[in-house]
Amino acid sequence: MQFHFQFQETPYRADLSRAVDLSLSIGPNGDNPHAFGIAPAQFEPIRVGSFVGRVSEGGSANCEILTLCAHGNGTHTECVGHVLKQRYTLPEALDSSFFLVQVLSVQLTQGKEGRSYLDAPELQGRLQPAQALCLRSLPNSESKRSAVWSGQEPPFIGVDAMRLIAHQGYTQLLTDFPSVDPEEDAGALAAHRIWWNMPSREQTLAEPEGAWLKQVRWKACITELIYVPETVTDGLYLLQIQAPNLCSDAVPSKPLLHPLLP
């Protein structure tokens, strides 16, 4: 099946019959990466009276209760509601599923206290016009798929690099980091705020209905904890983001790359 679309007056075709899944799975026998001290997701059978939702325990059907935090359990897509005082959810922000995306492999810089981060010079002159940017950090070890990031000072995006990215006007940003910000930053979340065109945490809390709300990038989203396989070459693709209709600031998601056709 072919998908025809246009971006900035340039026509493109994509092959929807082929896709590369960038998501990391959650649950029994899954990838199960987790971060920020958040416990791994739990999948337990429902128990109501004499009914147990597990066939292997004698139940008539499997019926599980899932307990998870999207921000720390596997691939997830988040919106600006992540850092707002008022409630704003991903279904409100993600009103489209398909985007022209640039996949870009990046080398990281070693900063203070051994922290690795993406610095602006690595991006200079390399960003292409597109609706989305998908970053693959190097080295690209398969161990990322099931990494326990908690307490490990995982890589992040430096503020200068994030300014370059946001300036490009992308509405979607995908990364294999657990967060675009450092694990510990005293709650500043500076890169998140640059991406969403927001002032500091102190100002947003002091002026929750301030004029700054008019400048917020409401439709911009961030997808974290992906994995881009080595078989994917850098370049342009059609990105499809699949996400359930859960009214939260972040939900588990399944980003897919579809190859473009000549």
- Tens-digit pLDDT profile for residues 10-29: 999 999 999 999 999 999 99
Domain-by-domain residue ranges, the chain?
A: 2-29+69-261
- Mean pLDDT value of segment 110-119: 88
Q: pLDDT per residue over 26-43, tens digit each?
A: 999 999 998 999 999 999
* pLDDT tens digits, one per residue of 125-164: 999 999 999 999 999 999 999 999 998 899 999 999 999 9
Element (H, E) at 190: helix 190-195
pLDDT score of 114 more than 80: no
Beta bridge partners of 256: 21, 240
Question: Which whole-number Å values give the CA distances from 197 to 163, 165, 169, 171, 190, in the listed order?
Answer: 10, 12, 11, 12, 10
Burial of residue 75 (CB within 10 Å: 0-12, 13-18, 19+) is buried
pLDDT above 90 covers a percentage of the chain that reads 94
List CB contacts of 186: < 8 A, sequence separation 6 or more.
none
Is the pLDDT at 89 greater than 90? The verdict is yes
Average pLDDT for 204-213 = 91
Q: Which CATH architecture has domain 2-29+69-261?
A: 3-Layer(bba) Sandwich (3.50)
> What's the CA gap between 256 and 121, in Å, rounded?
28
pLDDT value of position 112: 75
Q: What is the pLDDT of residue 84?
A: 94
Q: What is the rounded distance in angstroms from the CA atom of residue 158 to the CA atom of residue 187?
A: 15
Say if residues 153 and 113 touch (Cβ distance below 8 Å): yes
Q: Residues 32-80: pLDDT tens digits?
A: 998 999 999 999 999 999 999 999 999 999 999 999 999 999 999 999 9
**Mean of the pLDDT values across residues 104-108?**
98
